[in-house]
Homo-oligomer: A and B are copies of this chain.
Amino acid sequence: MSTNIDIQESSKDSKGKAVLVAAPARAGGWKKGIAIIDFILRLGAVAAALGAAASMGMSDQTLPFFTQFFQFEASYDSFTAFQFFVITMAIVAGYLVLSLPFSIVAIIRPHATGPRLFLIILDTVFLTLAAASASAAASIVYLAHNGNQDTNWLAICNQFGDFCAQTSGAVVSSFIAVVVLVLLVVMSALAIGKH
């Protein structure tokens, strides 16, 4: 009787082990897929951030005429928020390029949480930086388009149409980078959390 019970228990044990080994193997494929999507999205974010920085950095319009109240030239140098935008977007793009090797490590080793933890923490920091600079520039672009009656700040987009179009494009591009960074953080969290 006692040996019989022992055999049953050991077979139970091996069953439990088999399930434990099988589960991570299946999850690995799923995590590898997440890591590949992570890499592709990261490339897209690099393009969006670089495009935003370049588009804003090259925004410069000189008017062929001048009035009593307006300057001849508008460039990103005119606004502190736009300077901040160019610098921050360049830094974010640089970080995203440097993060690509870690994303590749996550593809090769889908189970390693180390690179994913490293990426999710730095992604969060640079997401905050990107969101801050994108919306600081967006609020200036909004003012440039609409002005503000209460403070007598006049809209400048009637005069500087090309400048406004270019900076608006840069802001849109930066918000694409922000959305992609949010997706990257959420995906990393899911990949780390689900075992």
Stretch from A21-29, A50-58, A66-74 that touches the partner: A66-74
Residue of B nearest to A120 (CB): B189
Instruction: Indicate how many identical chains form the complex.
Output: 2
The answer on a CB contact under 8 Å between A124 and B193 is no
Contacts of A134 in B (CB 8 A): 132
CA distance in complex: A121, B156 (Å): 39
Instruction: Tell me the complex Cα distance, A131–B9, Å.
Output: 56
* Shortest distance from the beta carbon of A91 to any chain B beta carbon, whole Å: 15
Nearest B residue to A9, CB-CB: B6
Q: Is the CB of B185 within 8 A of A150?
A: no
Q: Which residues of B contact A116 (CB under 8 A)?
A: 193
Determine whether A62 belongs to the interface, using a CB cutoff of 8 Å to chain B: no
Measuring CB to CB, which residues of chain A are less than 8 angstroms from any residue of chain B?
2-3, 6, 9, 69-71, 73-74, 78-81, 113, 116-117, 120-121, 124-125, 127-128, 131-140, 142-144, 146, 148, 150-154, 156, 178, 182, 185-186, 188-190, 192-195
